[in-house]
Amino acid sequence: MKLHNIAIIAHVDHGKTTLVDKMLSQSGSFRDNQRVAERVMDSNDLEKERGITILAKATSIVWKDTRINIVDTPGHADFGGEVERILSMVDGVIVLVDAAEGPMPQTKFVVSKALKIGLKPIVAVNKVDRPDARASEVINEVFDLFAALDATDEQLDFPILYGSGRDGWLAATPEGPKDQGLAPLFELVLKHVPEAKTEEGPFRMLGTLLEANQFLGRIITGRIISGTVRPNQTVKVLSRDGQVVENGRVSKILAFRGIERQPIEVGEAGDIVSIAGLVKASVADTFCDPQVTEPIQAQPIDPPTVSMSFLVNDSPLAGTEGDKVTSRVIRDRLLKEAEGNVALKVEEAADKDSFIVSGRGELQLAILIEQMRREGFELGVSRPRVVLQRDPETGDIVEPIEEVVIDVDEEHSGVVVQKMSERKADMLEMRPSGGNRLRLLFHAPTRGLIGYQGELLTDTKGTAIMNRLFHAYGPYKGEIAGRNNGVLIANEPGEAVAYALWNLEDRGPMIIEPGWKVYQGMLIGIHSRDNDLEVNVLKGKKLTNIRTQSKDEAVRLTPPIRMTLERSLAWIQDDELVEVTPKSIRLRKRLLDPNARKRDSRKAEVEVA
């Protein structure tokens, strides 16, 4: 059977996973009466809840005696490491672009990677049924983008389809015909994407995706470059630098057939398969016949730009809600995550009780923390910090700069430009994007963008859309003003009382509710001034035996501010931590004892002086 390997790449929310759903159903991968979940490729709980793709996943369809392996990729820049790895498995890409939004930062990022390794793109303009669709302008923007990314003449001569992934049709014109479904796309893949490339020689495969299975153990997915592999065959694993990682035996070979993975008797060159049975092998390793000595060259991965400290939870409530609390289990879990995710880097801190985890952005690290708390971990997490570097030529400190695209209503553009300039951003472009909206393009330091998403939504009444992408390392931009408000800190352990919270409301909004357990040093509210204030949230109303005609005032509390994990990470300062447990998210000072905090602040003042 002929074989073609393709990836679907696009910006977040441009409809990749929905299109894969329709490709699977129209190619006959499901029975007529089979019940199938929406966005079937988003199999993980967090992906279903958030409606985003986090992990790249493969599937396959059969069309006219040809098997097409399809890889669905994430759209967020934070998960770009997934996309960079999987491009080595495919021979062509479908670039999906929203008919209204046009090419966005993540489209630019993944397209540049695909063009660099010589893949020929097919451009599909999705959502042409939107009232604000502008298909012909979007095609011009895509062409300009390809030209700016130094595409070859052959890559610039890309075929174009228009349609709606949700409705399950694509055609050569925006008007249709719609009755052919996705057949024009399948035909174009067979005609335009070359057959799976193979090479002569013994078995070789580059590991691309890693997962753990409770029955089969470690499973590595990749594309076979040359030769064949069978169950019980002895294979050698080589690291990037050619060192032997292990010699082992393949216990099972699984191939993608629709949404299921089925065992097969032989894996052939060109096919994307999963191999089980090896215990040490990881992504970017070469799996090969014992006689092979040279590893396959893996694509270099962009470096991490944001880091956080993961600490053992040492609060008075530690161990009351989670069962995985020691530094050893946290270390093992982080190293296991870094093994399968090459965009993450884990280092042990000098005190051995904390770990510095570096990644592409706050979202990637927040997803990791959310997965860990669901597995029963308790830990303390610091504010995200950018990874600074030294310029090898000049020796100056350089920091990560991001390309930021903000779509905003014209009436709110002034406040956005002002806030971005306060965060040391340089505006490069301002142009209309249809419907009284403007598209603003900035180059901004990553430091200044930490915590800005929530502020942007408040300033624009929830109408602005911000997209970010790592651009390059640039000169250090100087100090950026942080949070304006101080915090309200509990001064005693116990349970918060409604009467005490009600009396404290004029000091600022609360972030806890009555009945919550608190401890000394825990943050319970946002102070209306710029200094921190210690308060008593345990003080109940004094009861007397004097009867009066006037009734007691009813305690009516203003609802507290809900501090989600992402909001907490962005909001805290360097001397504060987020305490994450399976049931709660609490904010606290790094040093719980007020005297220790005073000593620490005096020491900092002396160092500055």
**Which pLDDT value is given to residue 33?**
47
CA distance 425 to 227: 52
**What residue numbers does the annotated binding site cover?**
13-18, 126-129
**What residue numbers does the annotated binding site for GTP cover?**
13-18, 126-129
Task: Give the CA distances from residue 379 to residues 123, 129, 162, 341, 353, in Å, rounded to whole numbers and listed in that order.
Answer: 45, 47, 48, 21, 11
CA distance 51 to 12: 10
pLDDT at residue 359 is higher than 80: yes
Q: What is the CATH number of domain 487-608?
A: 2.40.50.250
Q: What is the CATH number of domain 204-288?
A: 2.40.30.10
Q: What is the CATH number of domain 2-192?
A: 3.40.50.300
**Which pLDDT value is given to residue 547?**
60
What is the secondary structure of 551-563 as a DSSP string? PPPP--PPPPP--
- Single pTM value for the model: 0.81
With pLDDT > 90 as the criterion, what percentage of the chain qualifies? Answer: 31
Q: What is the architecture of the domain spanning 389-475?
A: 2-Layer Sandwich (3.30)
Mean pLDDT of 62-80: 81
**Which pLDDT value is given to residue 354?**
87
**410 contacts: CB under 8 Å, gap ≥ 6:** 436, 437, 438
CA distance 108 to 467: 12
Tens digits of residue pLDDT in 282-340:
888 889 999 988 888 877 777 788 899 999 999 999 989 989 999 899 999 998 888 87
Task: Spell out the domain ranges in the chain.
Answer: 2-192, 204-288, 389-475, 487-608
Our separate counts of H helices and E strands in the chain read 15, 34
